[in-house]
Amino acid sequence: MAASSGDDVPRPNPLPSALVSNLQSVLAARRPAPAEEASAPEVESSGAPVAEEAPAKPAVLVTCAGGIRSAGLAALVDALVAGGRCEVHVCAPESDKPACGHSITIRETVAATSVDFTGAKAFEISGTPVDCVSLGLSGRLFSWSAPALVISGINAGPNCGYEMFHSSAIAAAREALLYDVPSIAISLNWKKDGSKDSDFKDAAEVCLPLIHAALEDIEKGTFLRGCLLNIGVPSSPAANKGFKLTKQSAYCPAQSWQGVSTSRPSHATHFMGMHQSLGIQLAQLGKDASAAV
């Protein structure tokens, strides 16, 4: 889902060929195959047919830096539940937690409250996205040894290059790797004046085949260990033409700071920094430091 760099020189693929082939075959077969005629169940001569238990579905833990009530989380959970491929569990912050990086809560308790989520068992957490993944994997909220997969998303805003150091969405997926659990981070390239909440639904549908392909490889034991898939969905996801595997970019935005006034008396000089994806940053520099600026 990343744009081509225009470099025609072939480069080695960082992902295993089995995963790449699996993803390509899943996306190529988006249209459902025609239903086959159901055949009558065979009955053993000795009596009634023996009923076989359906295999247990893999458990998936979902979190979202946008919070438990974010449109991105709701769209992803709805798509996973409707897909019926996995058991969905949700553990997300009680409010939006952007640009927290890999921060955790210390010196205070973290509250976990059960919330209603159709088709999923869900908790809202008073801590950071990383707290959510750590608590979700601990077994204190869900009765498991570990889920098959952790998904962080759908985040509103891109996570490329430099932004990965600040991203709460990437950090939540990275926390899962510390516990040796495969993870996926999903981010939508949200446009302030152009995107709408329904784009999250389209993004979830676009990513669902990739998630199912990853689950299939995890079950086969062929998914690359220590692998974090960072999926960047472009604006207008319904118009996407497929996906592309690429390396992480070295993108780094220019930093811009400007002085601002404050109504409160203070010996500090106040500055405001504008960042496209991080929002507003506020900083106070001491008198000596500000004099050198």
For residue 90, give the CATH number of its domain.
3.40.1210.10
pLDDT band at residue 28 under the 50/70/90 scheme: low
Q: How many domains does the chain have?
A: 2
Confidence (pLDDT) at 282: 40
Residue 3, pLDDT > 50, answer no
Distances (CA, A) of 116 to 23, 88, 149, 162: 33, 13, 22, 36
Confidence (pLDDT) at 194: 79
Q: Is residue 224 part of a domain?
A: yes
Q: Do 206 and 273 reside in the same domain of the chain?
A: no
pLDDT band at residue 245 under the 50/70/90 scheme: confident
Residue 99, pLDDT > 70, answer yes
Q: Is residue 132 part of a domain?
A: yes
Q: Is residue 97 part of a domain?
A: yes
Domain limits at 284? 257-291
Confidence (pLDDT) at 46: 52
Q: Is residue 4 part of a domain?
A: no
CB within 8 A of 198, min separation 6: which ones?
none
Q: Is residue 158 part of a domain?
A: yes
Q: Do 234 and 179 reside in the same domain of the chain?
A: yes
Task: Encode pLDDT of 112-130 as tens digits.
Answer: 999 999 999 999 999 999 9
CB within 8 A of 123, min separation 6: which ones?
90, 91, 92, 112, 113, 114, 115, 136, 141
Instruction: Considering only residues 50 and 91, tell me which one the structure prediction assigns the higher pLDDT.
Output: 91
